[in-house]
Structure 1
């Protein structure tokens, strides 16, 4: 079957070409990187790190003014007991603080996210009457995960030039946030919730006068009832007058302080006792349990939470587009100094930067790996066509990997893309094996038809290639079986490495033979045609140089001039035999020096070029020397097998000692020689130098970002916390 597939795609090269174009175009469409290729984008969802949180839903319940103990006894415990019977529940955790109950329901990993939400809602709607206090209604948290907070912003007064102008009260800003911006941003695609942070919620406040209440014989319940019943509209029947129907309504919604002040509490001797007679009514800020501080000053803003399963990058772009739509309609005012202060949405946490920095690190690593691979292949094979053929496998296979990630639901993050980086070496090996075998057949059977020769060469190594790659794929099966947080962390890596390796097999066996036919088959014999072709290459290089593409110009002009020189003066061919290789190698070294910059960006490109050339020269020189002396070393080790086995045995022992620690590996020595050996200088130094390798669940990420999370004393009030937070922000 494999041979039939190879033969079909090799002998039907138009089909192979169309397949290649489709795969490249499709891969560019789904690529997670911000490549501007003029095609519609359907990218792989991108995030900085994998979401390793548990399959969790949260039930919030508010009961204003109640102590944590009351919350625990009358809300948290009854609710937790009722929710324990939900199907698929792994465990339930709860937290009770002043006025708020939070219940965290952890489901098994195989339970679908929205199915679990529907089960919780069914349970909450079927709670027995009287289970919770009157007026208390539990609510389900947003359909998001712990990594859902993707965008934070503040609302600030700015002048026409964008400079801070102020002039807005926190209460005014919070009102705009709650009733304008929050609803607008919630309508952006992929947004689960927009939560308001900071400022003061505007409310009517009634300060009762105990003496007046006593004098009029009014109780607190009378005032509460009067307020509740005064803020409502009453619907009635209809009336028909002159054949026209009119709706009868009783209008009673509170629209001003006067409406509330005029509410009747009770009537004494046909005299109404109003709220203003027994209390003072005003508009003021509601009590709060949190605040937002920015650079030492109190601020008002919000946090955008992305919906479960959405693409964070796409959601952020949707939010930014919505902000652009609504910013023109935000309120403004004229300050005392004549300046106009307009409320402006100012982002202060945008995960786009972290995602781009993290993904950019992997993008750079993949690019550098491919460039270094090209250098190694050029030098080791000394065949430019074969080098280009092998190097072409990498971008095609990586693009195919992006397609698989998109439709298998694997998000692009630092761990997932690392799987592609790890697979680069094996992918190159696949291309080298196939190309080297084709080159060997070309040297051995020059009289055979090229297409048949390539088919024979490909068929010969296909089983070995598949066996070698599938061995690596099978070795990752245990990673696919990981569960919980470790599974969520490492399964994407196993998926992407498997995708990359399978893509490499498909490209090597189905596409590379056709590319090899084109690469090795294009050898024009006509001298004049070859001169025209190289002259065109020089002209294209000159155009590239004129357009600022000097590196591409170097390659095209260098190869074209070299070939023209060999055609004009055939006696120079033996001296310029590898000139095209040298030009390509110099160009790739320059590109590597610019992209990698091992001496830093402050160093010149020339110094970086020399350093890269030195590293590559030394590395390849050592490998070349090893290849030359390998037969001698092999004979020597085979003649002295027992002596040579001491070296690998020592390496294994030393590796285990580094891994487990000296004291753990050689802990038997004190039992044999006595505990006094632990005080020996040699034993003590080795134990100190080889303590064992430490363990850490998450890898350290150094993307230039820091997270400061101060913790205050439990008894600290909000004013104290605000002051501490202000000083911390000013210090930072």
Structure 2
């Protein structure tokens, strides 16, 4: 089989060159699709269920929310285990699935079980699924701050509530439209809301309850359509505008009659602009700010998404109210770029050293150049394999590559071919067919030892695939990348290298003692 492959590669060398060129083009195209990150993502396949339970103590949250939800998840396909955190007013249940489970399939299973579990939960509680992200999904962080001394157009001081309002209504909606962004999660500031403070003494005096007031506001604070009328062949749509858009309109809403006197909201409550209770705050340079974290959709390219978010934030800054600024404080792009620079430096220096050593040892520039060409071609083939095996380019996967290993087989074949060609030229002229036959026989002599040497190195990485859990997720990309690169070098050594030697070494090859080797 090997003899047939080698002979066919030499005789149909143009076809081999064309295939190699196509493989290089495919590698360049796949490079644009290659996920890039700093380190491998070791997060489990998990679905997070969040349930807000205002007023519930941690014990009540555990008994009435977390336990029923965890119980409902029992028996799911590919379920590994569940865990939960019960805090004051919050339940968070994490459902862990086996590695390899499709995340969207897992979320569908959890959603179906949640629908069935709603009957066992308090009526006012509604569980929701967390974003489709991983532990490495936090790719960008920024703050919304006020310029010292800046004021609102009416002359009032810009407050943390104003900052949070700008974030929630101007910045966040635009960032969510960036491809690859799944969530924008703020902390700090105060969320603006309409606060209705009940006056219980007045409620009692008018024989009203809290439910009466809530129902009155709910029923009298909405717009309603009332059909249409036909006029001159056209339809005029009619509606009743009942939704309040001012504080004083809410105060004038009708609640009930008391002894013939209409009771309004302002008679039993105080209506004002309030703020939501918060559980955290953020500061920058001693001032309170709103800090927001951008989460990346699972499986996306963190470098691309983070860069797009940064560019979008620059566009948004122009539309912010005067005196309010948004500043990036963490950008995954910088970390990824530094990691890639480290990997790039190591790879380039390694490739340069390999070329120099090859030239010094082989004593032939063309032979050294031909052997070195294997490196970029094997890398492009490796990139194609990484894309199809869903391995991202990171410090672990690319940092483990050793270019010296990639050219082992090529060095042996090229050196033996040159030796045979040199001997043949000493005996007389060599025709094209004779040169093809010499290269074939020279390659055949050393191909098996060369392949065994590469296979032995490949076998060293095979046990890594037996690792599971965090260790497996950390080191599998390294082993996968190295094995793909070594297999690519083997294919090139058997096909591309003999074809190149047979075609490009037409002139007589002089074999002489290498002075460097004599010195060593």
Q: So what's the TM-score if we normalise by structure 1?
A: 0.65
Q: Could you tell me which residue of structure 2 aligns to residue 718 of structure 1? A: none
The 8 Å contact of residues 212 and 277 in structure 1, kept in 2 or not, is answered as yes
The residue matched to 1:317 in structure 2 has which SS? helix
Q: Could you tell me which residue of structure 2 aligns to residue 703 of structure 1? A: none
Deviation at 1:523, TM superposition (A): 6.6
The 8 Å contact of residues 156 and 345 in structure 1, kept in 2 or not, is answered as yes
The 8 Å contact of residues 416 and 492 in structure 1, kept in 2 or not, is answered as yes
Structure of greater Rg: 1
Q: Distance in 2 between matches of 1:331 and 1:426?
A: 55
Quick check: 1:517 aligned with 2:477? no
Quick check: 1:212 aligned with 2:202? yes
Q: Could you tell me which residue of structure 2 aligns to residue 145 of structure 1? A: 134
Q: Could you tell me which residue of structure 1 aligns to residue 154 of structure 2? A: none
Q: Distance in 2 between matches of 1:48 and 1:307?
A: 16
Q: Distance in 2 between matches of 1:166 and 1:515?
A: 71
Deviation at 1:120, TM superposition (A): 0.9
Which of 474, 490, 493 pairs up with 1:505? 490
Greater length-normalized contact order (CA 8 Å, ≥ 6 residues apart): 2
The 8 Å contact of residues 230 and 260 in structure 1, kept in 2 or not, is answered as no
Matches within 5 A, 1:530-609: none
Q: Could you tell me which residue of structure 2 aligns to residue 260 of structure 1? A: 250
Q: Could you tell me which residue of structure 2 aligns to residue 445 of structure 1? A: 424
The residue matched to 2:407 in structure 1 has which SS? helix
Deviates more, 1:180-189 or 1:245-254: 245-254
Deviation at 1:239, TM superposition (A): 4.7
Q: Distance in 1 between matches of 2:400 and 2:266?
A: 71
Q: Could you tell me which residue of structure 2 aligns to residue 663 of structure 1? A: none
Deviation at 1:240, TM superposition (A): 4.9
Q: Could you tell me which residue of structure 1 aligns to residue 79 of structure 2? A: 89
Q: Distance in 2 between matches of 1:244 and 1:441?
A: 95
The residue matched to 1:207 in structure 2 has which SS? strand
* Structure with the higher strand share, 1 or 2: 2
Q: Could you tell me which residue of structure 1 aligns to residue 214 of structure 2? A: 224
The 3 A distance-change label for structure 1 pair 440 and 166 is: farther
Quick check: 1:468 aligned with 2:458? no
Deviation string for 1:402-445 (max 9, x for gaps)? 12112221111111113323xx2322321221111112212322
Q: Distance in 2 between matches of 1:326 and 1:6?
A: 60
Which of 318, 326, 334 pairs up with 1:353? 334
The 8 Å contact of residues 58 and 140 in structure 1, kept in 2 or not, is answered as yes
Q: Distance in 1 between matches of 2:289 and 2:367?
A: 62
Matches within 5 A, 1:361-376: 361-376=342-357
The residue matched to 1:218 in structure 2 has which SS? coil
Deviation string for 1:92-115 (max 9, x for gaps)? 101111211100001111422110
Q: Distance in 1 between matches of 2:101 and 2:360?
A: 53
The 8 Å contact of residues 177 and 301 in structure 1, kept in 2 or not, is answered as no
* Structure with the higher helix share, 1 or 2: 1
Q: Distance in 2 between matches of 1:358 and 1:241?
A: 70
Deviation at 1:324, TM superposition (A): 4.7
The 8 Å contact of residues 57 and 89 in structure 2, kept in 1 or not, is answered as yes
The 8 Å contact of residues 163 and 289 in structure 2, kept in 1 or not, is answered as no
Quick check: 1:387 aligned with 2:368? yes
The 8 Å contact of residues 422 and 508 in structure 2, kept in 1 or not, is answered as no
Quick check: 1:397 aligned with 2:386? no
Q: So what's the TM-score if we normalise by structure 2?
A: 0.90
Q: How many residues align?
A: 506
Quick check: 1:111 aligned with 2:138? no
Q: Could you tell me which residue of structure 2 aligns to residue 136 of structure 1? A: 125
The 8 Å contact of residues 187 and 291 in structure 2, kept in 1 or not, is answered as yes
Deviates more, 1:487-496 or 1:242-251: 242-251
Q: Distance in 1 between matches of 2:372 and 2:285?
A: 50
Q: Distance in 2 between matches of 1:296 and 1:452?
A: 79
Deviation at 1:344, TM superposition (A): 4.0
Task: List runs of 5+ in structure 1 lacking aligned partners.
Answer: 32-41, 159-163, 334-340, 525-576, 583-619, 626-732
Q: Could you tell me which residue of structure 1 aligns to residue 26 of structure 2? A: 26
Matches within 5 A, 1:307-326: 307-326=297-316
Q: Distance in 2 between matches of 1:232 and 1:624?
A: 94
The 3 A distance-change label for structure 1 pair 226 and 66 is: farther
Quick check: 1:54 aligned with 2:44? yes
Q: Distance in 2 between matches of 1:484 and 1:253?
A: 55
